[in-house]
Structure 1
Amino acid sequence: MKITKLLLNFFCLLMCLSFTVKAQSEDEAIKTCVNNYLEGVLKGDAARLNLAFHPTAILKSINTVSGALQDVPVAKFISTTPVGGIETKGGSTKLVSYSYIGASALATVELRFGDFKYVDLLSMLKFGNDWKIVSRVFSRTDLDSQVKGTAIAPSTANKPVVKKSSSANVKPKADDGW
């Protein structure tokens, strides 16, 4: 009996450890994808950018002059990344946040330049064991602009309703004072 209990506890411990390792490895894999993007832009490294993006990824923004939606294929973006990257122009990069569930992830990053920055929302999907950026939606903003919004609290709409018992039809106890 003691051996069975010991084996069961050991099995539970292994399951907990494997879940923790998997969660950590997902975090690391997503950060690797985002860091390939950030380092690729920072250093002008097309190989790192190609590792970060899915070949069919699209980049979208609003043209600040015309107000029209502009789509940039990822191949064009990579080919026009400045030699030496934004680092040669005094630029820097920063991972602001990321989140994921299942095979999808979202990261918010900043690409800072001298007097402005781009804030990118990167949508990622998991292909096998690798995460790839499939969409980059970006805005050019002032340096002091902050990402706004909050996390939404879990909805109570999907929680089962707990029935409360009604006291309307309950028989009074003989000694309840009524």
Structure 2
Amino acid sequence: MKIKSLLLGLLMLVGFQIKVQAQSEDEGIKACINNYLDGVMQGDTARLNRAFHPTALLRSVNTNTGALQDLSVRKFVATTPAGGIQTRGGSTKLVSYSYIGVSALATVELRFGDFKYVDLLSMLKFGDNWKIVSRVFSRADLDATVKGTGAAPSTGAPAASKPPVVKKSSANVKPKADDGW
């Protein structure tokens, strides 16, 4: 009886720790996103600097020239209006986020009077802290909506019971170290 109680208690403790870990990841990601959104909203450069990795890139396409346009974090933070976008009637909104392992994605909106920016934020976890490493953004009309589901469409076919046989070649050799591919 004591062994059953001990095992039950141990399982409950492990389950609680797993749930706490998942909550802390959500909270960490949301903290990073909120640092960004509140920093933009209030013009708080310290919060913006906490949100971004120092080498993050901010990218878009120049709609006049069609050229790729890069902006450094330093320049973005420096050009954030004093008092933030709230002084211009702006608002912010978290649309969605997802994560796995040490990577996360978020979609946010920065709304202004007659247009909005939709930002796709890529984040990575450094130690215990999530940081934005890339902001890809687009200017859009206020009534424009983000499209897509984020999940691959189902083909309706049942999952195969065995993976297909792959011939061994030098092209299929896995690297011995995790090189990111």
Bucket of the pairwise TM-score, normalised by the shorter protein: 0.7 to 0.9
**1:109 maps to which residue?**
108
Deviation at 1:150, TM superposition (A): 1.0
Identity %: 68
SS at match of 1:148: coil
Counterpart of 2:118 in structure 1 is: 119
Cα distance per residue 1:91-129 (max 9 Å; x no partner): 000000000000000000000000000000000000000
Q: Which amino acid in structure 2 is aligned with residue 56 of structure 1?
A: T
Runs of at least 5 residues in structure 1 that lack an aligned partner in the other structure: 162-178
State the one-letter code of the partner of 2:58.
Answer: L
Deviation >4 Å, runs of 4+: 153-159
* Structure 2 gap segments, 5+ residues each: 163-181
For residues 53 and 157 of structure 1, the distance between their equivalents in structure 2, rounded to whole angstroms, comes to 42
1:160 and 2:161 equivalent? yes
CA deviation vs aligned residue, 1:58-90 (integer Å, no higher than 9, x gap)? 000000111100010110000000111100000
Quick one: which amino acid aligns to residue 161 of structure 2? P
CA shift for structure 1 position 153: 5.1
Over 3 Å counting, the alpha-carbon distance change for 1:10 and 1:160 in structure 2 is same
Distance 1:128 1:70 in 2: 30
Q: Which residue of 2 aligns with 1:166?
A: none
Once the 2 structures are TM-superposed, how far is the Cα of residue 134 of structure 1 from its aligned partner?
0.1
Go from structure 1 to structure 2 and tell me whether the alpha carbon gap of 1:64 and 1:153 turns closer, same or farther (over 3 Å shift): closer
Structure 1 residues 159 and 37: alpha-carbon distance in aligned structure 2, compared to 1, 3 A threshold: farther
Deviation at 1:33, TM superposition (A): 0.1
Number of residue pairs the alignment of both structures matches: 161
**1:158 to 1:102, Cα distance in 2 relative to 1, 3 A:** farther
Corresponding residue for residue 136 of structure 1: 135
Over aligned residue pairs, what C-alpha RMSD do you find? 1.8
Residues 1:6 and 2:36 aligned together: no
TM-score, with length taken from structure 2: 0.85
